Amino acid sequence: MRILIYSYNYHPEPIGIAPLMTELAEGLVTKGHEVRVVTAMPNYPQRKIYPDYRGQLFCEEERNGVKIQRCYVAIHPNPGVVTRVLLDGSFALLSFFHALKGWRPDVILSTSPSLPACVPVALLKLIYGCPTVLSLQDILPEAAVRTGLINNKVAIRIFEVLEKFAYASATRIAVITDSFSKNLVSKGVPASKLKRISNWVDTNFIRPLPKHENSFRQQHNLQDKFVVLYSGNIARTQGVRAIIHAADTLQHIPEIEFVIVGEERQLVDLQNLRDELGVKNVTLLPFAPRKELPTMLAAADVSLIMQKASVVGFNMPSKTMVLMASGRPIVASVPGGGAAAQAVRDSGGGLVVEPEKPNALAKAIQTLYNDPARVEQLGKKGRAFAIANYSFEQSLEGYESLLASLVNKVKNLSTPITASTLQPKNISIKP
């Protein structure tokens, strides 16, 4: 199959949907398919176009057998309604023209966010006469409204219209949790249009590693510490400030050290709060290259998932399965009825506490600090659950099967394209 992936985020962006779409695209190549990706100039999480990509309207490159077509986006470091419109509008417009440059796809796989990208994808569907699959990673504008990211009534209405159009124009919709399915069905989307394909983690890349002689611990003087780690985005939806307050209540235990890894600009607010409270047991660090992620996760005794109480229940942070795969227990400060809480409970790999309650967070951390055997037990359960439920191979097969079924239906092939009949090409993959 010739597969066009339409994704705002892609490699070399280190977090969020970019690693997922990169792994999916390259995985489909190893299965013998031709893949090209239409994406933006890399800018996340700094919200600045990376230096090597500045000053260009379009560019093309190839990585691990995937043809990557990038376009300029009007990114601004301070998000707002106007800047968001400029960002999404520039990507929707410029990516469409860039997507026309290249071979005709058999099927298009798009991701959301960015929601306005549904417009050029729908146009490409008409031009090429091919089916489309929407990989739904978040539900906008509902999630954005609940967390205060969007409060302009006009903007909300525009996004609501775009949301309906995205669901209606897609041939099929891939959802990452059952709660997504329930939400869409309640909005009138036929259940037959939906297919659940969980996000994944590369359990060979993210794996349990020993804490002794861990380079991350050594580099940051954490050898003798009980490390509580948060790594990822620091925005309105995460409620990361609660970590600083929890650390404050645990300063009487000198062995416990909180480590927060994030984008440098986002760390400033946390640094100010830490200094204001006089908290001495919090280390703030900028993102490191993705290749160092397994070592960093292995440095933790406990890993954190943070969400605000206002976060809608269907939201499922992609880090959930990554932390499980690392073999470290999770403390999830998240809404109790949400998808993240359910995943942690189902795995048996961690504790769930009420969000935005620093005392509850601190109590859970102290409980694990006092019970090393339980820490080990929870970590093993989480790892086993990730292997059984979130393997990349399972998700790759799910996407390949879905895409192939649509192509077969359109072409009415006498010999269907399936995973079993496809013969992988001899493709050399760079490390």
The model's pLDDT over 153-189, given as tens digits with 9 standing for 90+, comes to: 777 788 888 889 999 999 999 999 888 898 899 999 9
In which band, very low, low, confident or very high, does the pLDDT at 102 lie, cut at 50, 70 and 90?
very high
CB 327 within 8 A of CB 208: yes
Predicted TM-score of the model (pTM): 0.86
User: For residue 141, is the peptide bond before it cis, meaning its omega torsion is within 30 degrees of 0?
Assistant: yes
Q: Coil, helix or strand for 288?
A: coil
Phi, psi of 260 (to 5 degrees): -115, 120
d(CA 422, CA 96): 30
pLDDT in tens, 368-392: 999 999 999 999 999 999 999 999 9
pLDDT at 106: 97
Q: Which two tokens stand for residue 97?
A: 């023209």
CB 213 within 8 A of CB 298: no
**What stretches of 85-168 adopt beta strand conformation (E)?**
107-112, 132-136
Q: Which two tokens stand for residue 34?
A: 């031709």
Q: Coil, helix or strand for 230?
A: strand
Q: Supply the DSSP symbol for 60.
A: E
Q: Which two tokens stand for residue 374?
A: 């339980």
d(CA 260, CA 271): 10
CB 24 within 8 A of CB 56: no
In which band, very low, low, confident or very high, does the pLDDT at 145 lie, cut at 50, 70 and 90?
low
* Beta strands 58-63; 66-71: pairing state: antiparallel
The full set of domains in the chain, from first to last, is: 2-200+391-411 (3.40.50.2000), 215-388 (3.40.50.2000)
The separation between CA 160 and the C-alpha centre of its own chain, rounded to angstroms, equals 22
Residue 146 has pLDDT above 70, yes or no: no
